[in-house]
Amino acid sequence: MCQLLGMNCNTPTDIVFSFEGFRRRGGLTDHHADGFGIGFFEGRGLRLFHDDKPSANSPVADLIKHYQIKSENVIAHIRKATQGRTSLVNTHPFVRELWGEYWLFAHNGHLGDFQPPPGQYYTPVGNTDSERAFCFLLESLRQRYPAKPPRHELFAAMAELTAHIRSHGLFNFMLSNGEWLLAHASTLLYYIVRQAPFGEAHLLDQDVAVDFNAVTTPNDRVAVIATLPLTRNETWQQLAVDELVLFHEGQIIHRHCPQPPCYLSAEEGLAIARAAGVAEY
């Protein structure tokens, strides 16, 4: 199974600390070693890095560490190829333009039998189930809304489309237009909202700590979302199975959750992925 990392903030923030732990899962502490990608929104603009080298020893990942790009919305993905040839064209996150905005998408799961009809507006370039799902989402939104609808209406439409797609398999994803970040869990997705009073956090994958108090202002609010928690001394919240949430300025402002919510343990989540043929390990 691939791993996802996202960040949504109320002020441009660098993701270096979280990314350092995350990238080690690409080849060092875990087996997601088929390349990685990360996209940073800066206003309406997007800075995108893809690499087919494992993130743990990628020069592109080194650049990200040293450059400390500040962004309000970030989505990163470490890939373990299960659908599609391992190549740059199949490396997440994927980008398309919708309603005059760039939309950025990364997926972790398996939608093997999801073969939507060719779209009028969006066509996959690679051959992954993930890019097919992304194009289907955008196509459906654009067919329904020639112009951008209000956010609550968009969220309701996304909840409906997400339910349709996940009926074909496992559909953990993150999606951002630079303004908000949507996250959906079929199995495993955790988040944490960091805000004042800030404390110290210790990475799980590396002996590294950061004192957020020293690098933030009292008004900062940062949500970090990941397949599995990245730190060992903080309490991460879990998304329920089939839960969809929309983060804006570092907090959840819309959520759509089945009743009663069901939560998987990490072991159960990984076992389900394995049983669905998602991963070889």
Query: Which active-site residues does the annotation give?
Result: 2
Q: Applying CB under 8 A, does 236 fall inside the site for its own copies?
A: no
Q: Applying CB under 8 A, does 215 fall inside the site for its own copies?
A: no
Taking CB under 8 A as the criterion, the residue among 50, 79, 132, 166 binding its own copies is: 50
Strand partners, 48: 39
Residue whose token pair is 């800075």: 47
The contacts of residue 163 (CB under 8 Å, 6+ apart) are: 242
The contacts of residue 198 (CB under 8 Å, 6+ apart) are: 211, 212, 213, 216, 220
Q: Pick between residue 59 and residue 218 the one whose CB is nearest to its own copies.
A: 59
Label residues 205-223 b or e (16+ Cβ within 10 Å = b). Answer: beeeebebeeebeeebbbb
Q: Pick between residue 82 and residue 90 the one whose CB is nearest to its own copies.
A: 90
User: What span, in angstroms and rounded, lies between the C-alpha atoms of 272 and 175?
Assistant: 23
Q: How far is the CB of 120 from its own copies (least distance, A)?
A: 8
Q: Applying CB under 8 A, does 194 fall inside the site for its own copies?
A: no
Q: Applying CB under 8 A, does 167 fall inside the site for its own copies?
A: no
Please report the beta strands in the chain, taking only residues with DSSP state E, as ranges in sequence order: 3-14, 36-42, 45-51, 70-78, 94-98, 101-110, 170-176, 181-185, 190-195, 200-202, 209-211, 221-226, 237-238, 243-248, 251-256
Q: How far is the CB of 48 from its own copies (least distance, A)?
A: 6
Q: Applying CB under 8 A, does 63 fall inside the site for its own copies?
A: yes
CA 105 to chain CA centroid, nearest Å: 7
Cβ neighbours around 144 below 10 Å, total: 13
User: What span, in angstroms and rounded, lies between the C-alpha atoms of 279 and 281?
Assistant: 6
Q: Applying CB under 8 A, does 202 fall inside the site for its own copies?
A: no
Q: Applying CB under 8 A, does 90 fall inside the site for its own copies?
A: yes
* Count of positions on this chain that bind its own copies (CB under 8 A): 34
Q: How far is the CB of 196 from its own copies (least distance, A)?
A: 29
User: What span, in angstroms and rounded, lies between the C-alpha atoms of 239 and 150?
Assistant: 24
Q: Applying CB under 8 A, does 122 fall inside the site for its own copies?
A: yes
Q: Applying CB under 8 A, does 79 fall inside the site for its own copies?
A: no
Contact 128, 197 (CB under 8 A): no
Taking CB under 8 A as the criterion, the residue among 21, 109, 124, 269 binding its own copies is: 124
Q: Pick between residue 126 and residue 156 the one whose CB is nearest to its own copies.
A: 126
Q: Applying CB under 8 A, does 88 fall inside the site for its own copies?
A: yes
Q: Applying CB under 8 A, does 92 fall inside the site for its own copies?
A: no
Strand partners, 107: 173
Q: Pick between residue 154 and residue 230 the one whose CB is nearest to its own copies.
A: 154
Taking CB under 8 A as the criterion, the residue among 57, 115, 125, 211 binding its own copies is: 125
Taking CB under 8 A as the criterion, the residue among 126, 145, 151, 251 binding its own copies is: 126
Q: Applying CB under 8 A, does 44 fall inside the site for its own copies?
A: yes
Sign of CA dihedral 164, 87, 40, 119: negative
Q: Pick between residue 85 and residue 232 the one whose CB is nearest to its own copies.
A: 85
Contact positions vs its own copies (CB under 8 A): 42-52, 59-60, 63, 66-67, 87-91, 95-97, 99-102, 121-126
